[in-house]
Structure 1
Amino acid sequence: MLEAPQRAAVRGPTFIRLLARLTDADVPSPRQSLSDRLSQWIDWTHAVALSTALDSRPEPDPFAEPAPATAMEEDCSRVRAALTRAIADDPAFAPTARGAARAAESTGEAPGFLFFRQRYLALQQSMDTAIGHLRSRLRDQLADRSVELARLAAVDAVMERALGRRERRLLVAAPTLLGSRFERLRLAAQADSPDTSIDTSSDPTADTPANPPKPDAAALRAPDAWLEIFRRDMRNLLLAELDVRLQPAEGLLAALRTHLPG
């Protein structure tokens, strides 16, 4: 008897590993280095702007009064906490969400993914706006510290403009991929047979298992149990995406922190 080939564990950020697991996709190793991929994403106008930023020697404002590094750390913590709270308090994860998802039942239709897709997109917009403002504030602080940090701020501004559109286009695909997870869970529950791709583990940081554990059949037979599994997966994916989105800001904060204490 032939055995099904085992999927290789996907390496990389938690966000990527979660997407690979939830979509049951085989993600091949990249054939190009990061620098090669970036060279394809940055057009010549942004390349010129990046070269100018790297060669520049911006002078900090001698009359500026930069905020202490601890103040910017608190600012970053506030933004992360606010966005984490926004995810936790979102209507998609409220008890009433089950009723919203099943609003079509009166017409005999299955609960739809549209409600959850709309909520995911709304939270993505909140993250994009809040983190964009945070990143701008961090650049302002860097620009007032030294020539080296001002240059870093200029480079970050160019990179945000160059990669922002592509980043948003890639991230907006996440709820679409999540939709396939929704359908698999729903169909598995309807068929009253566990889907072999369902993983009920609660740790989003664990490596992708080669053979994901099967859920308990009785749990899937419980009313809306599959929907609770999906909502947990959606929440974990949003939190992992938040970590990815915050990485540029955390890099700027690290540069600020190492330049001046306190």
Structure 2
Amino acid sequence: MLQAPQRTAFSGPALIRVLARLTDLDVPESSQSLSDRLSQWLGWTDAIGLSTALGGTPLNGHPAGGAPRGGQPSAAAAGARADGHAEEAECARVRASLAKAIAGDSTFAAAKRRAPAQAPVQDVAADAALDYAVFRQRYQSIQQTMETTIGNLRGRLRTMLAARTPAMARLAVVDAVMERALGAREHNLLATVPGLLAGHFERLRGAEREALAAAESAAAVAAGDAAGVRAGAWLDVFRKDMQSVLLAELDVRFQPVEGLLAALLTR
């Protein structure tokens, strides 16, 4: 009964697919290539920085990465792989901690079922007073936590890469340029997600109200159960959907970290 609109299937990230399923937007997939999009998003100063990093041009008078050319590897290189695996464990810990925070957040916990005799009156009153602002604020708070935590982790991985080989140091510079160039765009785009979910919130609530009203008019209500529709069930559906969107957003935010970590673990 309480189902989201069916939309065109997307082949992109899970976040896009989930939002397409839950919202009333039907945006066609872009025909532009990634390189074409990047050319539109990068400013000329970012393009210069990116070109410099990719070309291996010395930065600030030092070879890219600051690592000496020629000679024997430094003593720190011997423990580089061990450090990489330590960072791999730290990345896994951070991601698991963020996922656990999303899954265990009290705002998204399913409501406890009350006794049938109490449910109709209490559920109707609670439904009327429910405001989406509570969910919006909590979503935004978790977004801020993800942005700060993952940003710090990303910076630490770049620092470790910069101390390795010149090639890895160039990668660290490229990532820094990309974060600076695209960070604001990413922030603004992800900031629209709570607004998109507001529509899903209202549609689910409206659908349940219509179902309950139809059942009542047909005299099918019995102890708070209207033809299989439990009052307040829509809210549990919404909470689960919001958790799914947050977890999908976590996947998107973690992608740069996974790329840097993969480079760090390269033998």
TM-score, normalising length from structure 1?
A: 0.79
Equivalent residue letter for 1:232: K
1:252 correspondence with 2:260: yes
1:76 correspondence with 2:55: no
Secondary structure of the residue aligned to 1:10 is coil
- Name structure 2 gaps, 5 residues minimum: 1-5, 58-63, 69-73, 114-121, 214-225
Query: 1:145/1:116 Cα in 2 relative to 1: closer, same or farther (>3 Å)?
Result: same
* Residue of structure 2 in register with 1:210 after alignment: none
* Residue of structure 2 in register with 1:112 after alignment: 131
After TM superposition, the structure 1 = structure 2 runs for residues 1-262 of structure 1, keeping only pairs within 5 Å, are 7-55=7-55, 56=57, 57-60=64-67, 62=74, 66=80, 68-94=83-109, 105=125, 109-192=128-211, 218-219=227-228, 221-258=229-266, 260=267
Equivalent residue letter for 1:155: V
Distance 2:49 2:193 in 1: 30
Equivalent residue letter for 1:58: G
Distance 2:163 2:112 in 1: 47
Secondary structure of the residue aligned to 1:68 is helix
Deviation at 1:60, TM superposition (A): 2.8
Distance 1:170 1:97 in 2: 34
Q: Identity of aligned pairs, percent?
A: 55
Does structure 1 conserve the Cα–Cα contact (< 8 Å) formed by 2:110 and 2:239? no
Distance 1:193 1:224 in 2: 10
Distance 2:186 2:209 in 1: 36
Equivalent residue letter for 2:133: L
Distance 2:140 2:7 in 1: 30
Distance 1:53 1:190 in 2: 58
Equivalent residue letter for 2:142: L
Question: Which is greater in Rg?
Answer: 2
4+ residue segments displaced more than 3 Å:
61-67, 94-98, 102-106
Distance 1:36 1:183 in 2: 37
Distance 2:202 2:112 in 1: 17
Distance 1:81 1:156 in 2: 23
Query: 1:130/1:218 Cα in 2 relative to 1: closer, same or farther (>3 Å)?
Result: farther
Equivalent residue letter for 1:135: R
Distance 2:159 2:210 in 1: 56
Question: How many residue pairs were aligned?
Answer: 227
Distance 2:129 2:22 in 1: 21
Deviation at 1:24, TM superposition (A): 3.3
Deviation at 1:163, TM superposition (A): 0.2
Does structure 2 conserve the Cα–Cα contact (< 8 Å) formed by 1:60 and 1:144? yes
